[in-house]
Structure formats: C-alpha cells, structure tokens
Amino acid sequence: MKYGICIFSLCFAAALSARQDRAYSFEQFRAPVTFHGIPARPKLATRWERTFRTVIREGAREPVNFAGHFRIVTWGCGAACESFVIVDELNGQIVDPPFRAISMLDGNLKDIFTGLDYKANSSLLIASGCPGEKECGTRYYQWNGAELIPLHTDPGLPKP
C-alpha cells in the first residue's frame, strides 16, 4: 500500500508540474499580425546595439515574427547561447530585452534547454535557459508593446 501511495503522489506532482508549464499558451496572448510592408531601418541607440549592427540590420529586414509588428533578431554568442533584441518593424525602434544572452546549457553542462520561443501572432515570449548563465529555468513574458513583462518562472528544465 505504501508504494501505491508513493506512485500516486509522484504522478500527481508530475501532472501538476506539467500543467504549470503549460499554464501559458501562445493562443492566450493573441496579437494579430498588422504589418506586411517594408520594415523600417533599425535605430541603433546604444553602444551594445551598434556592436551588433550588421546582424541587427540584416535580421530586421526579415518579416514580422513576434507580437504583430515586431521582429526578434537573434544571433549566437557562443556554444548553445543566443543574444537578441526586439525591433519594431513600423518605426525601427529597438528594445533591449531584460537579459542580453541566454545559455541553453546549465553551469554543469548537463541540462539542455530550448532557448527562445515566440510567434508572429502572439505577445508571449518563452525563454528556456540560463540568462547570464545563471538562474536556469523557463520564463514566461508578455510583450506590452514597449517591454517584456515577467509572468512566471519555472525553475529547472521544461517538462515534456
């Protein structure tokens, strides 16, 4: 009987964790794609942005991929690491995210995360990894048109 209770408890805890990870879906944060024209040239305002001007300019030429009229431009920053900015395709304004890089490996080089996940028709951004190579987990953000608002953080690896 003891083992049955333990197995039930483990299954219940796993189901709760999985449900928590799926608490946010792209469909819950709909943002109709409203831009289909020629993207504005990015306005490089900071030294950091100017350091990566070529990749930002080239990436911003691509179609909208986030929240209706924005483009998330990503580039590698080492093994299993990516940096990104958010570019408004309407006016070229660049928004630096709350962290400049996210590593997909934890400090022990054993846990592998999935990185950034986003959609053109949603204002939800999911960041699975280790921002600044620390505090690994899966973070959920909502884009409000000007910044990413933290919604929830699940520590550790994302659940299947």
Q: Are 151 and 126 in contact (CB under 8 A)?
A: no
* Domain membership of residue 68 as a residue range: 25-155
Is 3 domain-assigned?
A: no
Q: How many domains does the chain have?
A: 1
Is 44 domain-assigned?
A: yes
Amino acid, res. 91: N
Is 14 domain-assigned?
A: no
Beta-carbon contacts of 21 under 8 Å, excluding residues fewer than 6 positions away, are 138, 154, 158, 159
Is 69 domain-assigned?
A: yes
- Residue 3 clears pLDDT 80, i.e. is over it: no
Give the CB-side neighbour count of residue 115, counting CA atoms within 13 A.
12
Is 18 domain-assigned?
A: no
User: pLDDT tens for residues 51-70?
Assistant: 999 999 999 999 999 999 99
Q: Read off the pTM.
A: 0.80
Is 2 domain-assigned?
A: no
Is 1 domain-assigned?
A: no
Q: Average pLDDT of 73-78?
A: 93
Is 160 domain-assigned?
A: no
